[in-house]
Structures are given as structure tokens and as C-alpha cells.
Amino acid sequence: MSDSYKLQKQRQYKLLCSIYHTVFGESFVRKNPIHRMQLQKAVFFMHEMGFPCGDYGFRWDEKGPYSNQLSNDVWAIGNTCPDNNDLDPDANAANAIEEEIISSEMAQAAALKIKDVFINSETNYKLEEWVEVLGSVLYMKRYMYPAYDASQIAETLPSLGDKKALNNESENKKAVEKATSLIA
């Protein structure tokens, strides 16, 4: 692997870690499956809001929108970084956010809107369930059932794959409304 390729991959990994830190307020730990799922959803929302953070195509998966390439990058890129797990948020994330992800006020505003909906919404779901629901309903509305209204999406979600636990129809409807308002 060439040095320039390693540097490019390290920069991409820092970008991903910075996105995670911006949205969730903590360091990304790639060995944590909840962190990986939450990173998938944060990057998906950034992409849907017009700020692609890499060449990631998303498809439906058991936890909602999922990118194989993003998953591959998290594991492969992480192996090229001096610290294979996470970045110190104080030393690296803030600088990377300013320099890489949030190169415009609009991108910064988008990340903060995602954070607000992911973190600050009142919900009966645990955080990881809420993030999964938000990503899932947005993907469903945009790519699977565009003609469905919020109630139909909320009603359909628990019947898809491994989503039986996400059966709170009123919370799911609220998630549809919040997720679609982010990209409006």
C-alpha cells in the first residue's frame, strides 16, 4: 500500500470519526456494533441532505440503510490509522470537522440538524433504536414506498426483516416526520 493511499485512507477514517463525534458527541469505536450502525445512519443522512462523505451507496439491510463500502472502509481504513479504534475527540475530531467535513456552513448546519433529531428528540425508544428507526423510515419513504404517507410507513416498518421490536406506531410516525423534515 503506497504512502499516499494510506494518507488518503487515514483522512477518510478521520472524516468518518468526525461525523460520528459531531452527531453523537463521543468518539467512534469501530469494534462497537452500535457505533457502526449509528455511523451508517449518520453518513446516510449526510448523503441524503446533499453532503456525501465518500462514495457510499446504501441498500436496505436488517438495520435499515447500509453501505458495504462504508463498512469495508471502517475496517480497512481503521487498520491504517495509528490508533485502530477511535480518535481523541479533543485533539482530532474538532480539527477534522472544521477542515474536512464541515467545509461549509451549510454542511455544519446539516450535521447539527442530524444531531438534534438523533439526540434531542423525545422518544420512547433507546438511542440506538431511535437512530435505526429514523434511518429505516427515511430509506423506506425515499426508496421503497415513496407513495406511502407517514402512517403507512410507520405501520409497515415492524413487518420488515428484524424490525418486530420497533413496533411503536406513534413513535415510528414521529420518526417519519422528523426524518423527512431533515431532507426537505
pLDDT tens digits for 17-56? 888 988 999 989 989 999 999 999 999 999 999 988 888 9
> What span, in angstroms and rounded, lies between the C-alpha atoms of 131 and 23?
11
Assess contact for 56 and 69: CB atoms under 8 A: yes
pLDDT tens for residues 45-85? 999 999 888 889 999 998 999 999 999 888 877 555 444 44
Q: Position of cell 453501505?
A: 67
- Cα dihedral sign for 18, 22, 25, 30? negative
DSSP one-letter code for 83: S
pLDDT at 34: 96
pLDDT at 94: 46
Nearest to residue 143, comparing CAs of 160, 126, 127? 160
pLDDT at 125 over 80: yes
Across the range 152-179, mean pLDDT stands at 89
- Residues in CB range of 7: below 8 A, 6 or more apart: none
Cα distances from 43 to residues 56, 57, 101, 131, in angstroms, run 9, 11, 11, 12
